[in-house]
Amino acid sequence: MEPSGVPGQAGKILEREGTHIAARVEERRKSVSTPADAIAATEDLFNLRRRYFGITGEHFGLLDLEGIRLIDELDERLLRGIREVLKAFVEARPRDLPDLKVLGMLTERLTAGGRPMPQYPIAFMVLFMIRSHFEKFQEIAAAGSHDLGALEHALVHHLLGVVDRYVQTRERPVMRHFSDVAREYSVVSRLKCACGEEKFDVKMQSLCQRTDGGPYDRLDLQCRACGAQRTITFDLPHFKDMYQI
């Protein structure tokens, strides 16, 4: 069994929604001139998840393999789009730095009590963290103990740091391969069996090769609830990075 990427209807949705994300990113990137604009643009882009979750749910189960893969791919594109908007704003103002004391205070309060991000996070984990930080930020801003402009400026830099750390795991050689492998197990952890349970165990993981020479992982799974077995595959586009170790 060879992997087939994102096929058929899922591929069409990915292309259409990916194009929609890119267009919205470009639109918002051009309209950002203040920290408040950058924050509003990030929230606007974040809300695109509702759209592609709804469209995906019309065609696939959100806990089925096709649905999980599609949402994960769109989440990654969305997160990269958010980074593009924030990075464009910050790089256009290299001397306009936030108050470091405010940034330190904000980062400490936004991350307090949160679960540490894994070494190779999945895009949805970072998006959940951003949503949590937005909610905490509203509470901090409402308290009125700090200048709102200084808080907004610090939040933009904080969010860019969060997103940048994720993108590094997806772009740096070797790291990106291990990130791909971590994504495989994240998919398995969310995959729903036909019996209704989300309890698959990986019984065997095999490194395989397509007829064209491309490497891929084969995971043989078994449901802990009913014993059903299935096999899923994942492309390994960055496996060649391992030769650099």
Q: Which residues contact 219 (CB under 8 A, 6 or more apart)?
A: 184, 188, 202, 204, 205, 206, 231, 232, 233, 234
What percent of the chain lies above the pLDDT cut of 90? 89
2 — pLDDT class (breaks 50, 70, 90): very low
The distance of Cα 49 from the centroid of its chain, to the nearest Å, equals 11
Tell me the pLDDT band of 236, cut-offs 50, 70 and 90.
Answer: very high
> Which of 115, 141, 171 is the C-terminal boundary of a domain?
171
Share of the chain above pLDDT 70, in %: 97
Query: Alpha-carbon dihedral of residues 217, 219, 220, 226, nearest 10 degrees?
Result: -160
- What radius of gyration do the chain's Cα atoms show? 20
Classified as helix, coil or strand, 204 is strand
122 lies in the same domain as 197: no
User: Is the domain of 159 the same as that of 206?
Assistant: no
Which residue range(s) make up the domain with 111? 8-171
User: Is the domain of 125 the same as that of 230?
Assistant: no
- For the segment 84-93, what is each residue's pLDDT rounded down to a tens digit? 999 999 999 9
Tracing tokens 């078994």 back to the chain, one arrives at 222
Determine the length of the chain.
245
* Residue among 54, 33, 32 at smallest CA distance from 41: 32
Tell me how far apart the alpha carbons of residues 120 and 168 are, in angstroms, rounded to a whole number: 10
Predicted pLDDT at 116: 87
Q: Is 167 found in the same domain as 202?
A: no
Q: Are residues 205 and 152 in the same domain?
A: no
Residues 158 and 198 grouped into a single domain: no
Residue 188: inside a domain, yes or no? no
For residues 43 and 100, membership in a common domain is answered with yes
> How does residue 144 score in pLDDT terms, banded at 50, 70 and 90?
very high
As a whole number of angstroms, the distance between CA 216 and CA 206 comes to: 8
- Reply yes or no on whether the pLDDT at 42 is more than 50: yes
Instruction: Confirm whether 228 is domain-assigned.
Output: yes
Please indicate, yes or no, if residue 213 is contained in any of the structural domains: yes
Nearest CA to 155 out of 36, 24, 32 is that of 36
Establish if 178 belongs to a structural domain: no
Identify whether residues 155 and 203 lie together within a single domain: no
For residue 182, being part of any structural domain is answered with: no
| Shared-domain flag, residues 126 and 220 | no
Q: Is residue 176 part of a domain?
A: no
Q: Are 167 and 44 in contact (CB under 8 A)?
A: no
Which of 171, 203, 230 is where one domain is finished? 171
Tell me the average pLDDT across 180-203. Answer: 93
Type of residue at 44 = D
- Name the band, by pLDDT with cuts 50, 70 and 90, for residue 243: confident
Same domain (yes/no): 31, 116: yes
Place of tokens 């209704």: 196
Q: Domain total for the chain?
A: 2
The amino acid occupying position 73 is E
Asked whether the predicted pLDDT for residue 4 surpasses 70, the reply is no
160 close to 166: Cβ distance less than 8 angstroms: no
- Same domain as 122, residue 211: no
Q: Identify whether 73 is part of a domain.
A: yes
Determine the Cα angle at 162 with ends 161 and 163, to 5°.
95
What are the backbone dihedrals phi and psi of residue 101, each rounded to the nearest 5 degrees, phi first? -65, -40
For residue 235, the domain's CATH number is: 2.30.30.30
In this structure, the strands spanning 215-223 and 229-235 are antiparallel
Distance CA 88, CA 72 (A): 24
46-63 residue pLDDT tens:
999 999 999 999 999 999
pLDDT at position 245 is: 59
CB proximity list for 47: less than 8 A, separation 6 or greater: none
Residue keyed to tokens 């194009």: 19
Average pLDDT over the chain, rounded to an integer: 93
Does residue 144 share a domain with residue 225? no
Asked if residue 61 belongs to a domain, the reply is: yes
